[in-house]
Amino acid sequence: MSSEDDAGGEAPEGSFWEAGNYRRTVKRVDDGYRLCNDLISCFQERAKIEKNYAQQLTEWSRKWRTNVEKGPQYGTLEKAWHAFLTAADKLSEIHLAVRNHLAGEDSDKIKAWQKEAYHKQMIGGFKETKEAEDGFRKAQKPWVKKMKDVETSKKNYHAARKEEKTAHTRETHAKAESSVSQEQLRKLQERVEKCTQEAEKCKDQYEKMLEEVNRYNPRYMEDMEQVFEGCQEAERKRLCFFKEMFLNLHQHLNLSTSESFHALYRDLYQVIMAADNQEDLKWWRNTHGPGMAMKWPQFEEWSLETQRPITKKEKSGKMADDVTLTSILPARDGVVLQTPLQTRQRFSYQEEQNSLFYDSLRAPAHVNGGKEDISEWSDEDTPKKCLDANGHEEDIKVPGVRVRALYDYTGQEADELSFKAGQELMKISEEDEQGWCKGRLLTGQVGLYPANYVEKVGS
């Protein structure tokens, strides 16, 4: 077996200086490449976890947003409940951003560094591994050869001493036996002398080989150190890069340093603290309780008005409170409240727009031959009527009164208006027995609306 094969064999446990033990350092180059792949795989799996968590937050928010909107909770507490779901959506976006950093930016950076640090060869393996292997092999080859000579001389010397010992033993036994002739005894003595001389000769050779290898050791150590330091420098770069990547990953995963993360829970806390049970109870009282308007029965004298056809709403038995249960969309999740400053600002703006407001309300919604188009109104849906001087029925009209919506309202019939809280319209007929008024929007649309959903501007 050649000295190169001895040096390139499987590295045993022991000192780095022993033949072949540099292989552990060479293997570290291949391990570095594999560790880059492991690091990418590790945090890509974490990226999947972040993505799945973000998706679960979004699905949870969507499901419960629908449940809360359709559920019986109302007012500012409903708004606080919605705030949790909004926070979940924002948190989902944050975790998706973390996922994008881990699976995209960070992984690409590791792959780029890996490609630059490790160069694959056409015949397999890496250029850096081969260079380290060749460097150690070249540095160790002369020393391995000398060590082989030392081992050979050591083996020869020990064999000679063993032979000398055997010759001494035979001579001793021969002297103790009377049957051994003098000639045989002399030959045994010569054998002992010859073995002793051979042992001394092997000893000198052994000591000479040891002297040579010890004289070469500093050179051997210097050459091995030089190759080793090259491997150390490459490993130092890998360790520094991994530390840098760990810091980047820590920065992306550490949400405690994210301003958006802190703002998310800060806003959620503020919404929860803004929940006001008194405002919610007040809203319920005015919308579904004693605060609702009621047309109490009063004595009515007979008149032609009492003979008017029964309207569609009266036939269906729809009551004002029934409408509020299905049609109201709470503004800002509760009663529309405005601070004095906001109120002043609103009136200031409206005063500047008064002329435009009244002009738009006076204009007919649809003109057909100079007459207002009321094709959307049926005979049954017309407001209160009375007989004019010629005996014809006509609407009981009132001077146009500006009113403001207190709550959101979505019309349930084709002849009903829809508006938002705070929106202004013109009341153009008095309230009927069922609590309905006729009004006109800024757009010119004319229709019915619940009287208790508005207040007179300036009241």
Closest-CA residue to 41 (of 91, 93, 114, 96): 114
How many other C-beta atoms are found inside a 10 Å radius of the C-beta of residue 38? 11
Distance from C-alpha of 182 to C-alpha of 170, rounded to nearest angstrom: 14
Question: pLDDT, tens digit, for every residue of 289-314?
Answer: 998 998 888 888 887 765 555 554 55
How many other C-beta atoms are found inside a 10 Å radius of the C-beta of residue 98? Answer: 23
Neighbours of 356 (CB within 10 A): 10
CA distances from 29 to 25, 65, 396 (A): 7, 54, 97
| Beta-carbon contacts of residue 227 (< 8 Å; ≥ 6 apart) | 22, 132, 135, 136, 139
CB 417 within 8 A of CB 444: no
Q: Kindly report the pTM of this predicted structure.
A: 0.55
Closest CA to 25 of 171, 137, 188: 137
DSSP-derived secondary structure letter, 104: I
- The CA distance from 237 to 130, in Å, is 18
Give residue 330's Cα distance to chain centre: 34
The residue written with tokens 């490459």 in the block is 234
Supply the pLDDT for residue 311: 52
Q: Which regions in the chain score pLDDT beneath 50?
A: 1-11, 312, 315-394
Helix or strand (DSSP H, E) at 175? helix 127-176
Q: In 254-397, which residue ranges form alpha helices assigned H by DSSP?
A: 259-274, 277-288, 312-316, 320-327, 340-352, 354-362
Separation of alpha carbons 420 and 403, rounded Å: 13
The number of beta carbons lying within 10 Å of the beta carbon of residue 428 is: 18
Helix, strand and coil percent figures for the chain, each rounded to 5: 65, 10, 25
Convert the pLDDT of each residue in 166-203 to its tens digit.
Answer: 988 888 888 888 787 888 888 888 888 999 999 999 99
Q: What does the pLDDT read at residue 308?
A: 52
Q: What is the pLDDT of residue 307?
A: 55
Q: Using CA atoms, how far apart are residues 417 and 426, in angstroms rounded to an integer?
A: 12
Position 152 scores a pLDDT of 94
Would you call 215 exposed, middle or buried from its count of C-beta atoms within 10 A (0-12, 13-18, 19+)? exposed
